[in-house]
Amino acid sequence: DADVTQTPRNRITKTGKRIMLECSQTKGHDRMYWYRQDPGLGLRLIYYSFDVKDINKGEISDGYSVSRQAQAKFSLSLESAIPNQTALYFCATSDFTLTSGTLEGQFFGPGTRLTVL
Amino acid sequence: SQQGEEDPQALSIQEGENATMNCSYKTSINNLQWYRQNSGRGLVHLILIRSNEREKHSGRLRVTLDTSKKSSSLLITASRAADTASYFCATDPHNSGGSNYKLTFGKGTLLTVNP
């Protein structure tokens, strides 16, 4: 099974609808992230969470909200979707091992392609 | 705002040739990471180089880091058709405490390896 899963994989919705994208991970990582990717652009950070009680805004949080239901689950919501939120959305996780001095990269889910009409 | 900028935006080579991609960034970093993305898929972490390292190898990958020039390069040797993908650099800024969060990604280099 994949370490980081996202549902749905594809979603088409209409302007004004509320949408929730879900992310689950089996890596046991504390840190989770939501990014969006637009054609020709790199990834931009929407929100990130260090643990269940710690949620932080990223570069482009306006129009989005998140919920960290458990260590393994991190959801992204669009309260009232608009067309310029059409993008590819990625969830990612990472470990924090400062004491061991070991740093790994972030582990990404397969992405959710969201289209807002 | 973009921290890392990859160069070139696109690169097309023949199988067996080496591919070099560059990344420039603006502010001090704790580490720099390279990721690969196959079309429409999630990113895959390739390699991480810390700010006190100058060169790192992983299989056919070689990464260099020049903090004085705020630049990094990714070399893929003996490229294969399966290396066709977009490659992104991501920087972990110094003010983040080196804890691998709030990565800032560049726009990527699209590498095409022709059989």
Confidence tier at B92 by pLDDT (50, 70, 90): confident
Question: Are the CB atoms for B52 and B69 separated by under 8 Å?
Answer: no
Residues of B within 8 A of A110 (CB-CB) are: 41-42
Residue B1: per-residue pLDDT = 47
The tens digit of pLDDT for each residue in A15-53 reads 999 999 999 999 998 899 999 999 877 899 999 998 889
- The per-residue pLDDT of chain B, averaged, comes to 90
pLDDT score recorded for residue B36: 97
Q: Which residues of B8-47 are buried (b: 16+ CB within 10 A; e: fewer)?
A: eeebebeeeeebbbebbbeeebbbbbbbbbeeebbbebbb
Interface of A with B in 44-83 (CB under 8 A): 44-45, 48, 50, 58-59
- Which of A18-22, B80-84, B90-94 has the least mean pLDDT? B90-94
B98 neighbourhood in chain A, CB within 8 Å: 98, 103
Q: Are B99 and A98 inside 8 Å of each other by CB?
A: yes
The distance of A80 to chain B (nearest Cα, Å) reads: 25
Q: Tell me the chain B residues in contact with residue A88 when contact means C-beta distances shorter than 8 Å.
A: 40
Higher per-residue pLDDT: A94 or B65: B65
